[in-house]
Structure formats: C-alpha cells, structure tokens
Structure 1
C-alpha cells in the first residue's frame, strides 16, 4: 500500500473525516495508478485514512476507511453495500414506488460508486477508472444476493470527459426496453441500455409528488428543460388543465409523448415544444402567454448554438424570464443540481432575479435530496439538490 503525505493545511480535513481526496492536498500524485489503494498520513507519518485512487472532476480519490486496522478488501465493500441495502428496506416494500437509489457514493461510504434500482434491475454507475477496478468486488455482492433480473452499468468516465457509450449490459437476462417503473403511483418508461441517461432523474421524486398533489390542479404548467417530461406527467396526473413542455433536444418530444402514453394521458391535449428555453420565453412574451406554474430545472451547464447557460451565473436571468410569463399570483418551482454552492446562495440568486423585476414572493416549500440519496455530513457538496417553491405576491 502506497503512503501519501497530506499537506499540513489539509490534515484537519481528514481528521474531520472528509472523504474526498483533492489532488492539491497530497504530494506525489504523478506516480499514482487508477484503482491503487493508498494510505494517507500527516507530515509526521501519523495515520489519517485509507482509500483508493480515482481521478474525476471532484478530486483524485476517496477515503474508504478512517480505521487504521481495517483492510480495504471485498469484505469491506460487501459490508458497505449490504448496510446501504438494509437502510432502503422501506423502499423495497413500497408498493407505489419501485425505482430508487440503493447506494449513493460517499453518502454510503464509497465515493465514485452509484447504484440505482429499477423494478428488479440494478444500474451501477462508475465515476472513475479507479472505482471501476473494484467491479468484481461489487458484482460479487449481488451474485451472493442473487435476487435481480439483470445488472447494467454506466461508465461515467473518459479522458475527454465524454460518456463511454459501449454495451451497458453486465449480467442476468437482458431487459426489453423500455421497462415501465412506478414512482408514487406514476408510470415512467426507462431505458437502461441507452447511454448515460435512463429517462428519469430519481432525485426529483419528492418534488414531482408535490407538484402532482399540491400545485397542479386546474393549472397551466410550463415545464422548462423538460427532458422526457417527467414533471409534465406529474402535473397532468395532478389535474392540470394543460401542460407545456419545452426542451432543446429533438428527442425530447418523442420521449415526452412516450411518458404521457404509458400513463394513459392524451399527449395531443398537451403542448410539447422543441426549442431553446430562452427563445421560448421570448416567444411566450410576444404571444402574451401566461402560466400558473413554471418549473425551472436546468442542467448545471448547457450550450446551444446561440448561448451558453451556467447555473452559477445565469439563474437570476432564468427567474426574471419566468416572472414575465407567470400569472400575478402564480408559482415558480426553482431547482438546481449544481453542487458548487448551497441553498443560501441559491436563494440569493432567486432573490436577485425578483429584485431586478421589482417583484415580491413568498417561499412555500423547500426540498433537498430524498431519503434514499444518503448524504455524508462531512461532505456538504454531496447534498447537491436545491428546490424552492415560490409564490408571487
């Protein structure tokens, strides 16, 4: 096991059990190999933690144990995965939901490893070549359990920052896609063999339920950056008189039609528009369109031919555009999954947008990650989801 000296000004981080290993926190990172098991020591040689090397955009690896006498082996991986499964017992027993996260990276003790469950299918996401070296240790746990239809994987790493688009099937019986999963009684079509995205973001489960149960009835709901229309489905099932889904991706229209169809919703009664969201805002202003509820759930970063959108810089502009087309007593569901700032800064962005328009609002409800997305309290960036439900005054 290679020992790495931690620079003095980072020693406190690891004594406080911070799991992420930053490249700038240690010496001699050039001689490291992906998947290599390492021991972190302070400048005097005192033990700080053990982990593995896995270069990704967040850092160069993760601590797996802060116990000096605990070996990093298959037993440790098995222990962590089984502990995570036991914490999700109530989700497995939920008759209305059969798609959820069963292992959430550093929140469950292994940074860089994500595992989701879709009605008998497991999808393992590997976020670095380093964690991928432990593939057999992870698969061995599921072989011992044996209760699955199939296992798929997503390699979320590449030297050029792009998804490795090869055969995602690992073992079991290949699924016939789409499979239809349930979330709080709503149906969603998912594809586990079609690139990095499967068709639904599980972290928004609670927000979709709230939209359906509290905010959609008899409303016209605008769903921006709509992807496959999951929020639009929730709104329609919640009694919205109409939904409008807007996304720049051409495939979003067919995907949204499919999601409406698997829920028995007449998609022809809904508006599904392929357009840049900011262009749609301008169109809606020209046509004097108004909406009762506007859903804002943009990617952290997006680039089109006309513009580049960065949440950290451009979210106030998004709020201002929404204010222009929402009814005077309407609602905005503002969401971001950007990990680089917290809820306080997000609220400041929202407030800036309202002040620029000289408008007032109240915060009706807030959301962070649902319970199956376990968070490590020593790594605040892991609690990345921030959702604020706003009502205009």
Structure 2
C-alpha cells in the first residue's frame, strides 16, 4: 500500500476523524497510486494516521475510510459498511406507510461519494468519487444480497464527478430498468416518480419529516407551494384539509408528475392550481396582483454550492423570502428552507431578519426544520448537515 505523507502540523483534522484531506496538506506521495486506490496516510514522520481513497485530480486528495491500522480494507470491510447503513434504516421501512428512504449517505455512512436511495422495489445510486467507482461491484453484490431489488439504476450524471476526473455515468447497474413511473409511498401518500428523468436520484426524501410537520398547520388555509417539484408539500396540504393550494415550478415534467400524483391519491383537484413559471417572477406577479396566502412554502434549489458563493446566495435568499413575506396574510406562516451546506442556520436566520426588515414585517421563528434521520450528520463531518429550514410567523 502506497504511503501519502502529510505536511508537518497538518494532521489535526485527521486525528479528529474529519474524512477529507486536501491536496495542499500533502507533503509527499511515495509512489504513483491510481485514482481511487486505497492509500496509507501518515504524518510528516511516517506515523500511520488512516487509510483512504486517493485522487490526484480532486481538491480532496484523500477521502478517509478507516483509522485503525490493524483493519484491512477489503470486500468484507465494504460489505460491513453497506450492511450497517441499510440495517440502521430498517425501522423506517418496517411499516406500510413508507417504502422510500435514503439507504446510504456518503461520508455520513463512512462510504465517501456513495448515495443510495430506495424507491419501492428499485434502488437509485449516485457514484461521486473514483474510490467508490472502483468498488461498486462489491457494493452492488451486497445491496442485492440484503435487499433483493428488482433493479439498481445509476444516476451519476452530476457535475461533482468532474472534480474527480470522472465522466457522466447513467443506466442500469443490476437487474431490470425501472418503469417510466415507480410508485412509492411516504407517510401514507403515494408518489409516482420518474427515476431516470427526475432530478437528483429521482425524489427528495430529505423533506419527509418536514412535510408531515407542516401539514399540521394547513387545515382550512390557503397554501402557496413554491419550487414544488413532485408536489410533496402540495399533496400533504391537500390531504390535511387545506382550503386551496397553488403550486409553482418551472419544470413541465414536475407539474405533470404532481398533477398525476393528486389523482393517484384521490385528492380534490378543484382545490389545486398548478403554475409553470419561474418562482421569483411569479411571486412578483402575485405581489402586483395583490394576491394573499395563509401559508407559503419556499424550497429552492441549492443557491450556495460553496462558501465562495455564500454572499451572492444570501442576497438571493433574502429577496426570495422578502417577496414571500409580502404575500402573507397577517399572522401567516412561511416555511422556508435552504439545502446549501455553506449556509448555516445562524446565517439563514440573519438573512430572514434582513428580509423581514426590507419587507416591513415582524417575524417569529416558531419551528426549526432539519434533514431526517436517514440523512445523518457525522459528528466529525459537520459539512454533512445541509438541509435547514424555519417555520416563521409573519406579522
């Protein structure tokens, strides 16, 4: 196994079990490991620190796997990691109300660069690092043994692969291709999702708990669901007795899908209005028309993919939330989210305070939202905490 030596004084984060080693922290590589190969990381004196995947094309040159030198990184090691992740989610799928969740969440489950989502009888996979790509045959074997899915589909069509020197990867990895529409159930609500053509891995199961919580506030209310995608907040609102729900998304496929989902769940379509539009433009149009709502949901895409984009993203979040606050009836509720890992909760609260000031509104934070337990946050890797949200009462 090839040794990778750190510069003097650069071992602190490794000793604290942070899983990333940046290229600038490396003093020397004793040999020429291939990208994705497991290497032995040492301090400047050659003392063992950890094992990890190596990649000289990535800013994260080593993604750490194991800190115990006596452990061998082999098929059994990867099988155990997969089994541990799957077994820890078993209770989420034990009942009849939910058959979809995230089974493996990358660094949080000690498998850096691997995302696995379960959608009924199918698995959707994203392979984001060269190391995981090297061991995918082992991982596929273990997933098939544990879950016996009808098919495993690769959706690694993400830009983050380019940082690892990898091209797009897309298609069936094992079993059968998924049908055009796979029906999944979350909290008793049925969703028809398109794994192959849908966003990310096919469906945003990270809002499962937050959809359920917000649904408890909508009975008899008028609801505006922005960036609605396949209609998670919309469907929960209609099921829980909302007086009317308006859903806005720029994707024609998303609107077609959630209209079908309304039919699947036998919900009252007369209470629902779908609008295909850019959300910011539509909010301005609502403002100009004098439209008002009791509850507004803002679940935008990632505005801050990195810390360098945080200032620009903060301005975008502020403007979006300011517009929404202007559309709420007095005492109305704003459920607003950020999926940007670079945006921490305190910064998000400050952005909302600025939005309230510009809108001439008073805001109370009455509930904090976060990602669910199948998206755990590893204590040594706080960067894994990306989804945050606030339920705000706006006066």
TM-score relative to the length of structure 2: 0.90
Match of residue 258 from structure 2: 256
In the alignment, the residues of structure 2 paired with residue 123 and residue 153 of structure 1 have an alpha-carbon distance, to the nearest angstrom, of: 6
**1:96 deviation in Å?**
0.8
Q: Distance in 2 between matches of 1:124 and 1:142?
A: 11
Moved more, 272-281 or 162-171: 162-171
Normalising by structure 1, we get a TM-score of 0.91
Distance of aligned partners of 1:58 and 1:262 in 2 relative to their CA distance in 1, 3 Å threshold: farther
Question: SS where residue 227 of structure 1 aligns?
Answer: coil
| Secondary structure, aligned partner of 1:60 | strand
State the partner residue of 1:26. 26
Q: CA deviation at 1:143?
A: 3.7
Structure 2 distance, partners of 1:326, 1:385, is: 24
Q: What is residue 6 of structure 1 aligned with on the other side? A: 6
Deviations 1:263-304 (A, max 9, x none): 1224454211111111111111111000111111111139xx
Please tell me the root mean square deviation across aligned C-alpha atoms, in Å.
2.5
Matches within 5 A, 1:249-328: 249-267=251-269, 269-301=271-303, 311-328=313-330
Mapped partners of 1:206, 1:261: distance in 2: 23
Aligned to 2:308: none
Structure 1 residues 203 and 209, CA, compared in 2 at 3 Å: closer, same or farther? same
Aligned pair count reads: 386
Secondary structure of the residue aligned to 1:5 is: strand
Q: CA deviation at 1:162?
A: 12
Give yes or no for the alignment of 1:231 onto 2:236.
Answer: no
Separation in 1 of the partners of 2:58 and 2:267?
40
In 2, the alpha carbon distance for the partners of 1:351 and 1:165 equals 40
Residue of structure 2 in register with 1:194 after alignment: 197
Offset of residue 310 of structure 1: 5.2
DSSP-derived class of the 2:77 partner: helix
Aligned to 1:350: 352
Map of 2:211 onto structure 1: 208
User: Where do 1:86-235 residues align within 5 Å?
Assistant: 86-145=87-146, 147-155=148-156, 156=158, 157-159=160-162, 167-194=170-197, 196-212=199-215, 214-235=216-237
Residue matched to 1:16: 16
Q: Equivalent residues in 2 for 1:24-63 (5 A)? A: 24-27=24-27, 33-54=34-55, 59-63=60-64
Q: Provide closer, same or farther for how the CA distance between residues 384 and 339 of structure 1 changes in structure 2, counting only shifts above 3 A.
A: same
How far apart are the structure 1 equivalents of 2:195 and 2:162? 23
Deviation track 1:299-345 (CA, whole Å, cap 9, x = no partner) reads: 1139xxxxxx9533321111111111111110000101101132111
Unmatched segments (≥5 aa) in structure 2: 305-310
Q: Secondary structure at the residue paired with 2:117?
A: strand
Of 276-285 and 122-131, deviating more is: 122-131
